[in-house]
Amino acid sequence: MKACRYPLFEDHKRRHEKLIEQVVDIARRFSEKKEDIVKDEFLDFLKNWLINHILKQDMGFSPYAENNPEVLGITETLRTDSKQLEMLGADDLIPKSVNWNETAILIVSKSRNFRNIIACILEIADVRGIQQYSHADDAMQSLESRQPNLIVYGWKQDDQEAIPFIEKLREIKGSSFAGIPVLLISAREERVAMESGLVAGATHCIEEPIGIQTFFEAAVKAINQ
């Protein structure tokens, strides 16, 4: 948030501090007398955090981060080493049902931030065959020479290419890449966006924001579906 100079940074920081205080308070009361924790109170806290804060308030700085040079610089330098992975407990988040270092994955999104972040997540699983494209037409053309095991498409609000890309992919009957699984990750505001993606031919759809575990679970589901 600092890197993208989000004007409401201080207010947002205070919201995070308040959430932390609530977590600490609930944990303290639970350790002292767990009967004092009312289920509805805890569920209300989770709903507020996951739905109101993450899906609404956290999305407020998205326009400031999108294609911001400083943010791009940060995401491009993101790398993982063994010590970082151990701290993250990342090994427990990576499904063992897929041989990731032999899996080729194509990332398509107009957002450079999105492509960099997904690439970094894939590097955690030692995925070596990663390709990135900002335009759907370029991604489609690349399939002629190299066919991935999975296409990850980041569908942003200003992207009108996602649905035509998936439809075109599925319409090419008899081609070896018509059956490539597509994981559509939507940042669209329309409630019917994911349904539209599935109708077009996406294998599996999830909504932003996503975490490491959420991504890998969705990727495995798309690959195995």
Q: Which two tokens stand for residue 2?
A: 């600092």
> Distance (Å, rounded) from C-alpha 171 to C-alpha 51?
37
> How does strand 150-155 pair with strand 182-186?
parallel
Q: Which two tokens stand for residue 134?
A: 């900002």
> Distance (Å, rounded) from C-alpha 177 to C-alpha 159?
23
* Three-class secondary structure of residue 156 per DSSP: coil
What stretches of 48-111 show up as alpha helix (H) in DSSP?
62-65, 69-76, 82-88
> Distance (Å, rounded) from C-alpha 42 to C-alpha 25?
11
Phi, psi of 165 (to 5 degrees): -60, -50
Domains of the chain by range and CATH? Answer: 9-65 (no CATH), 80-224 (3.40.50.2300)
Q: Model pTM?
A: 0.67
What string of pLDDT tens digits covers the 225 residues of the chain?
Answer: 777 788 888 888 888 888 888 888 878 877 777 776 666 777 787 777 777 777 677 777 777 777 777 766 666 655 555 445 444 555 677 888 999 999 999 999 998 888 888 998 898 888 989 999 999 999 999 998 889 999 999 998 888 999 999 999 998 766 677 889 999 999 887 778 889 999 999 999 999 888 888 999 999 999 998
Length of the chain: 225
Distance of CA 106 to the CA centre of its chain: 14
Place of tokens 């690439």: 119
